[in-house]
Structure 1
Amino acid sequence: MSNNSNTALGILAGAAIGALAGILFAPDKGSNTRRKIAEQAAATQESLKENALDLKERVSETVAVQKENLGTRVENLVSDVSYKTEDVITTLEAKLKELKAKNKQLQKS
């Protein structure tokens, strides 16, 4: 994502510089040149706003997906731990039953 953002910003900056240079070196009246520069600045500002909003939206979506993935992973982990806990309890209950049976036999002897 960072490379895409850097590339987009580079392209925008290059376009803005090229347009500004073209306006400055074109033979025209000063008032027309200033108007063209103002128009180009406004267009560049609008383009930057759109790119910033797009980047914000993409980051928000990525964060939401990562948050959802984390939630799913935590749920899976809790579920796995729950199953393992049940297995351990079952094993311990079986061992306890065996020990009680052995204890009973030792007490009879």
Structure 2
Amino acid sequence: MSSIKVLLGALAGLVIGAAAGALTGALFAPSKDKRTRKIRLKKGEAKVEVLKEKFDQSLDSITERFKEEVSDLIEKEAS
């Protein structure tokens, strides 16, 4: 193996390790950095609200479609 490949592999490992460390540090910030966690919590809550709205819309759509199908079946049975 050439020394260039070894050097590039070591450099890639260093970069990946630094990125993983930074991410871990940001996710598990000490309690003195409550601001970071509050920001992430608010973003997460906003995404949950969007998902709830989409779920409610989908549920309403499915319910309406079900009612229409039941109504059509009742009309077919009556005729």
1:1-109 aligned at under 5 Å gives the runs: 22-25=26-29, 30=32, 33-79=33-79
Unaligned residue ranges in structure 1 (runs of 5+): 1-18, 80-109
RMSD: 2.5
Letter in structure 2 aligned against 1:61:
S
Runs of 4+ in 1 over 6 A off after TM superposition: none
TM-score by length of 2: 0.62
TM-score by length of 1: 0.46
Using a 3 Å threshold, how does the CA distance of structure 1 residues 29 and 71 change in structure 2: closer, same or farther? closer
Unaligned residue ranges in structure 2 (runs of 5+): 1-22
Q: With CA pairs under 8 Å and 6+ residues apart, which has the higher RCO, 1 or 2? A: 1
TM-superposed CA distance for 1:51, in Å, is 0.4
TM-superposed CA distance for 1:24, in Å, is 2.0
Using a 3 Å threshold, how does the CA distance of structure 1 residues 72 and 20 change in structure 2: closer, same or farther? farther
What's the secondary structure of 1:39's corresponding residue? helix
Aligned residues: 57
